[in-house]
Structure formats: C-alpha cells, structure tokens
Structure 1
Amino acid sequence: MPSELRTPHQPVSDLDFIRSATELKPVPFVPEISLHMAEDAIALWERTERARGEAGLPPPFWAFAWAGGVAVARYVLDNPELVDGRAVLDIAAGSGLVGIAAALRGARAVGAAEIDAYAVASIGLNAEANGVRVEADLVDLVDGDGAPAEVVLAGDVFYEREMAARFLPFLERAVARGATVIVGDPGRAYLPRERFTAVAAYRVPVVADLEDTSVKTTTVWRLG
C-alpha cells in the first residue's frame, strides 16, 4: 500500500522539485530498495538554496543514501526478526530508507519523523515506489522517548555535537521504556561508543563529494 503523507503544509511544487532533482534507482549495497536520489550533490545543494531565496533550506539530506542509514537498512533486511510484527520508528529519517527496509521485512507499522518538509515528501515518494506504507510526519520527537514504537532506528545522527547531545538522551529514554534501539555510524566523532554494542559492520559505498571517500566502514550499534 502506498505511503500516506500527513503534511498539510507541503505544496505539490515540492514534490515536483524532488522528482526533477533526483532519479529513482536502486541503492548501492541495498539493491532491494530504490530511492529518489541525486547524482550531483553540489548542484542540488545550490539548487535547494536558490529554491527558497535568501532564507535557503535545510541541506537536502533526503536526496542521498547516507552510509549510516544504508548500514542499518542492510542489517534490518538481513535480520527481519528485529522488526517483524513490531511497531518501528525511523527517526531523522532523511529519504526513509531505514523505515522502508523495516516495512519490507514485516514491521506491523512504520513511522518516520523528520523536521524537513522536503524529506517528508521524499519519504512518501520512496515508500510508494517500494510498495510499502510509511507514515511520514513533519515533527521533532527528540524531546520524547519514541513511544509507542517498539523498535527505534536511527541511520546517522551523531555527526554534530549539538545534535548528538539531543539524540543520546532520546535514545536512552527509548531503551529505558523497553524499546530496541539500533543506530548506524560511519565513524562520526560524537557517537559515545562505550554506551553501545556493535552488532554488524559493513563497507558501504558512498557519494564521494559528501564523504571525501567512495567507501565508508560503517558500524551498526545497539544501545543498552
């Protein structure tokens, strides 16, 4: 069933922008899933800024398959028992890659939370393209605990100090209420590794313009 977009402030022109700026194609290392992805990272960054004038927009994280998300998606696809029959939250979802993987592997319900309206629209397009349902919301959930999700998945949220300082307590609150928390990390500086247990590691192909390399060794971690 196609994803429903519950974003009343999302104009149709934003969907047109995403379609014009990206191409639907399989994700390297997770070919089971196709996403609307940009070929030219720098050009899209500039185009996104021009789209809203001087105010600009958040960076188009939704237009790429980031290493952390790819690793979590691969782990979910290879370990369906993690999500099968369970309610899943994909936090800071970007393109929705991780949530789509959970839906493909039998999650009872999948929610995706983002603070960028373009990302929410992109999640809907990508979920529909993969024939799954993902409830995408334009919302900041990080001051809560992710309830009622039984599994909380985060593709790559420790790349900035301020962001890490918000996300770690959120994830710890989710674990404290009984949720399973899985995080992907391609060696970011602000992941407190001593609080996590590594469950898998992959060499993930990435967009060199974004990561200054073509392959990132990426670890999947479980909190608690």
Structure 2
Amino acid sequence: MSDNPAAFVRAYARLAAVPFVPEISLHQADEPIGLWELTEGEFRSEQPPPFWAFAWAGGQALARYVLDHPEVVAGRRVLDLASGSGLVAVAAARSGAAHVRSVDVDPFAGAAATLNAAANGVTVVAETADLLGGDAGDAEVVLVGDAFYSQAMADRMFGFLRRAVKVGARVLVGDPDRAFLPRKLLRPLAAYDVPVPPALESVRVKHTTIWELPGPAGVGGTAG
C-alpha cells in the first residue's frame, strides 16, 4: 500500500467519463479484483475496500438527480457522506452549491474526491472522518449514495440522517435496492436504470431510486 493516497489513485485509476453522468469524469479502476487485492480488500485488514475507485449505482443516480435538479443544492451548504469517489459532491458543486463537503472514512477516498473535483473544475472540501456518531454540522443538504450495504452501516447511517433532518437539513439517498435500506421510512422522488460494472454487481444495469427522508411531522423539501 502507498503512503501517498493521491499518487496511488493516479497510478491505479484512470480518468474516464461516468456512464450515467457523462458530464463528470472520475478516476476509475478498470479491474476491481486486482485493485481490491492491492488495497488489502475483503475486510482482511483495517483498510476499507476501494469504494472510491468505482461509480456505484446509488452515486450515479444521485449525481444525475442533482444535475437535473440543481435547485436542490444551489446556494446551499452540502454534505456528501460516505462519499467514495466524490461523484455526488462534484455534481453538487457543478450544480451551484455554496459549499460542498465530501466525507469518507478512507483516506484514499479523500484523495480521489480531491483529484476528481480538480479534474472537473470544481471545489470540494474532502475530509477523512467517521461522522456517523455525530451530526451534519451546518449542512443544509445531506447526500448519500449507496451506503446501505450492511446492517451495521445502515443502522449508523440512518441514525445520523434522522438527526440531520431534525435540525432542518434535507436528506436525499440514492440506493439500488440494497437489502438494508429502510424504505418504509423514506419517500421516492425518482428512479433510474443505471449502468454498472458486471464484475461488481453481477448485472449490467441496476434499477436505482432517489429517496428523501421526511423531516419532523413529514415536512421535507419538494421533489424539484
């Protein structure tokens, strides 16, 4: 493993357009298994698998929604949580967000988000942190792509998102029907059929929904 995350991202991922969001280019890995081994994946160590190296369905759909509905983020402070590549953060910045914060527990994700923002000519503040035990700070919009992939992660993430809406943030989630998404507590805004790497998802297209977590007493933003 490299002790220089930015250099590692440049070395093992190439800049390419995102299939469902071609306006945005990301540093992406061509072959997932080899990179996973390089990053000591499969959770064999404390190093998380390289979520930053791929355009996952939830993030692609959420980025598409934000670009198509810029009023969701325009002029607002945005938090892209469990950001991975920073795809959603870049989409928010391109859509006129006043400030975009990209947060992930993986330092390689932070490096990727910074490089990807620069490649797309936008500014994103990338942080390496675990925020799920805390709050969203001054974020007015919280965006989460494809983070409900395990029960433990889903429980922590949903607790964080509920705290965010209680203090007035708008929360949007992009999810390709992962098993641990609490659908009954969310409301759908849009749906897309998103192209994905078969090596990651065993299919070429994932039906993916944009969900909103309603605020107190069911108060939430409009679909835009």
Unaligned residue ranges in structure 1 (runs of 5+): 1-9
Give TM-score scaled by structure 2 length: 0.91
Q: Is 2:45 aligned against 1:23?
A: no
Q: Kindly provide the CA deviation profile for residues 152-172 of structure 1, in whole angstroms up to 9, marking residues without a partner as x.
A: 000011110000010111001
Q: Is 2:95 aligned against 1:96?
A: no
Q: Is 2:23 aligned against 1:32?
A: yes
Q: Kindly provide the CA deviation profile for residues 84-117 of structure 1, in whole angstroms up to 9, marking residues without a partner as x.
A: 0000000000000000000000000000111101
Q: Is 2:178 aligned against 1:188?
A: yes
- Percent identity over the alignment is 56
Shift of 1:198: 0.3
C-alpha distance in 2 between matches for 1:93 and 1:206 = 17
Aligned partner of 2:199 among 206, 209, 212 = 209
Give TM-score scaled by structure 1 length: 0.91
Q: Kindly provide the CA deviation profile for residues 63-83 of structure 1, in whole angstroms up to 9, marking residues without a partner as x.
A: 000000001000000000000
Once the two structures are superposed, the pairs formed by residues 119-130 of structure 1 within 5 Å of their partners are 119-130=109-120
Partner of 2:36: 45
Aligned partner of 2:141 among 137, 143, 151 = 151
C-alpha distance in 2 between matches for 1:42 and 1:115 = 21
**Which secondary structure does the structure 1 equivalent of 2:39 belong to?**
helix
Partner of 1:139: 129
Shift of 1:15: 1.6
Q: Kindly provide the CA deviation profile for residues 121-170 of structure 1, in whole angstroms up to 9, marking residues without a partner as x.
A: 11110000001000001111111221200000000111100000101110
Once the two structures are superposed, the pairs formed by residues 35-114 of structure 1 within 5 Å of their partners are 35-49=26-40, 55=45, 57-114=47-104
Amino acid of the structure 1 residue aligned with 2:17: P
Q: How many residues matched?
A: 211
Answer yes or no: is the 8 Å Cα contact 1:48–1:56 preserved in 2: no
C-alpha distance in 1 between matches for 2:145 and 2:102 = 12
**Which secondary structure does the structure 1 equivalent of 2:163 belong to?**
helix
- The runs of 4+ residues in structure 1 deviating greater than 4 Å are none
Query: Which range moved further: 67-76 or 143-152?
Result: 143-152
C-alpha distance in 2 between matches for 1:31 and 1:120 = 22
Shift of 1:17: 1.3
Partner of 1:6: none
C-alpha distance in 2 between matches for 1:174 and 1:117 = 24
Shift of 1:191: 0.6
**Which secondary structure does the structure 2 equivalent of 1:73 belong to?**
helix
Amino acid of the structure 2 residue aligned with 1:140: D
Amino acid of the structure 1 residue aligned with 2:105: I
**Which secondary structure does the structure 2 equivalent of 1:101 belong to?**
helix
C-alpha distance in 1 between matches for 2:123 and 2:89 = 9
